[in-house]
Amino acid sequence: MSQLKIENLCCGYPSRTVLKNVTLTAEPGKTLVLLGANGAGKTTLFRTLSGQLPPLSGSFQLADEDFRSFSLKQRVRELAVMPQSESRDWPLCVEEAVRLGRAPHRGWIFPLTKEDHHIIDDAIKRTCLDELRDRPITELSGGEWRRVILARALAQEAKVLLLDEPTAGLDLKYQHEVLHLVQSLTHDRQLTTILSLHDLNLAALFADVIALLGNEELIAVGTPAEVLTESLIERAFGIPVTILQHPVYGTPLIAPRSHWEETQS
């Protein structure tokens, strides 16, 4: 089991601290969703956990081992990252791009095994890319490219998934399909999954745990019902909301209220 434990983590840049004293645990088999306004530190936290940024202070451990002590080879085997944006200048087709997920296991020069091909095919099918497997990635829509990046992460077979805005650029159908896929893989394979979202109602439907960021700190951690309250949302996003109950699932349903309405009441 690959529990990811973050303790008193401060992250940011030499000239600016973005997040202070974050203590958070991501458990295997549970989908943890990061929420917060633009600039709250979600991407900075991902960059720190993936090793792109050194922590300013504090620590984070994977399966009780200090993750900073891992070699690059260990990191890419244990952790798969889906960045918020990624260029696609290489002349690759979809299947070739997904194959890159096997590089941490096979290297760049060794031929793929039968098992590798099975894992790649499964990742392509799970992300509904079968009909696009031979298409150049430069000809994909933004949403199709997001699914390719997710398929590559699945092919990597890492124990930890860090997904920064995995639904960006996707229409309503694929937003739900991708999040259903992430949720089922997390539960079935006991993955440790952290993802960021902007849509509070999607977070309410798909998160097991929500971590709410704001004002350079971790404001609250808990179930959707515990975190998605009127007071906490207004504190994090600076906008009044009304919390309703989803008519089908019973999860919180967030309805923003305008400042104009507040001043008129």
Rounded CA separation 170/102 (Å): 25
Q: Please, are residues 7 and 59 in contact by the beta-carbon 8 Å criterion?
A: yes
| Token pair in block for residue 37 | 């306004």
Query: Residue 212: what pLDDT?
Result: 98
3-state secondary structure 56-69: CEEEEEECCEEHHH
Task: Give domain 4-264's CATH architecture.
Answer: 3-Layer(aba) Sandwich (3.40)
Residue 186, C-beta contacts closer than 8 angstroms, at least 6 positions apart: 29, 30, 31, 161, 192, 193
Query: Residue 1: what pLDDT?
Result: 60
Torsion angle of the four alpha carbons 200, 205, 206, 209, in this order, in degrees rounded to the nearest 10: 70
* Domain residue spans of the chain: 4-264
Query: Residue 254: what pLDDT?
Result: 95
Query: Residue 126: what pLDDT?
Result: 87
> For the CA atoms of the chain, what is the radius of gyration?
19
In this prediction the pTM is 0.89
Q: What is the pLDDT along the chain (265 residues), one digit of tens a residue?
A: 678 999 999 999 989 999 999 999 999 999 999 999 999 999 999 999 988 899 999 998 888 888 777 877 778 888 888 887 788 878 899 999 999 999 888 766 678 899 999 999 999 998 889 999 999 999 998 888 888 988 998 899 888 999 999 988 788 988 998 899 899 889 988 999 999 999 999 999 999 999 999 999 999 999 999 999 999 999 999 999 999 999 999 999 999 987 555 555 5
Hey, which bits of the chain come out as E strands?
4-13, 16-26, 30-35, 57-62, 65-66, 79-82, 160-164, 192-196, 209-214, 217-222, 241-245, 252-256
Rounded CA separation 136/92 (Å): 6
CA 160 to each of CA 4, 28, 82, 173, 221: distance values in angstroms, whole numbers, following the listed order: 8, 8, 11, 25, 19
Query: Residue 225: what pLDDT?
Result: 96
Query: Residue 259: what pLDDT?
Result: 59
β-bridge mates for residue 214, sequence order: 217
DSSP 8-state assignment for residue 136: B
